[in-house]
Structure 1
Amino acid sequence: MLTTSTFTVTTFEPTSLAPPETATGTPVGVARMVKEFRGGLEGRAETLFTSAFDQERGIGTYVAMESFSGTLDGRSGTLNIAHTATTDGGPDRLEELVVIVPGSGTGELVGVRGGGSIRVDEDGTHRMELEYELG
């Protein structure tokens, strides 16, 4: 099944977790985020977000783990979604991976698996598309 959602980040808070002591060309940061989803995914996610990103050049990579609670196309439960992408200063997301973590589904989402993509529209709207199966 294919479903599409939009989401907004309602909280983005850097954490007190210290970044690595090794100095590199892009600083590493860790943050906690809260997101609200609307559409095929309807609910809330708490996200652990790690990135190595140069804000001046718009170059970097992030890795995120979402803990989602709500509904997926009307089925209620929780699940984890892992995603990563790289930017090279242009508008495109490179090396993107979005995956529903196997075994993470609860409630009516037990056995859910799949993956997808995230895109950001020109107006700043964030969209997540998931291709998934249950059971």
Structure 2
Amino acid sequence: MRASGTFKVVSFTPASLTPQPHVETGLPVGVATMEKRYEGDTLTGHSATLFTAAFDQEAGVGSYVAMESFEGVLDGREGAFNFVHSAATDGGPSRAAEHFAIVPGSGTAALTGITGAGGLRVDEDGTHRIWFDYELPPS
């Protein structure tokens, strides 16, 4: 099944955590927490995100890894689960080396047993889109 919608970042809070030992690279590694809100015909809810990136904001170059804890409704089924995603960018609109997976064993309530993958993209107008291609065990 596929559930899809749009999302907005409600908050982005950099954390004071720094990797140890310190290694000097061309892009520093940072850690932040995020809150997102999701809306759509088949997807509504919110998430808490742990976000790690090596990124140059001015050039738009870098990579990130995010672990999200989603709580909400997929196709009328309410519950929570974790998903992980990552990508790289070279400063253009495209994303490369993408990874997106629902964490096995993380589902609760009507989403217990959820498995699958998904993806996200940012439209030229700045709209953030997400989709989950998922399966649930028979009830």
Select the residue among 78, 81, 89 that pairs with 1:79.
81
> How many angstroms apart in 1 are the aligned matches of 2:87 and 2:58?
18
SS in 2 for 1:116: strand
Map 1:34-73 onto structure 2 (within 5 A): 34-39=35-40, 40-73=42-75
Structure 1: runs of 5+ lacking an equivalent: none
Paired residues of 2:18 and 2:29 also in contact (CA < 8 A): no
Q: Which 4+ runs in 1 deviate beyond 4 A?
A: none
Aligned to 1:28: 29
> How many angstroms apart in 2 are the aligned matches of 1:3 and 1:78?
14
SS in 1 for 2:11: strand
Aligned partner letter, 2:111:
L
Structure 2: runs of 5+ lacking an equivalent: none
Deviation at 1:41, TM superposition (A): 2.3
> How many angstroms apart in 2 are the aligned matches of 1:53 and 1:88?
10
Aligned to 2:3: 3
**Which shows bigger deviation, 34-43 or 24-33?**
34-43
| Aligned residues with identical type, % of pairs | 58
Aligned to 1:115: 117
Paired residues of 1:19 and 1:30 also in contact (CA < 8 A): no
Deviation at 1:101, TM superposition (A): 0.5
Aligned to 1:17: 17
> How many angstroms apart in 2 are the aligned matches of 1:50 and 1:91?
20
**Normalised TM-score (structure 2):** 0.93
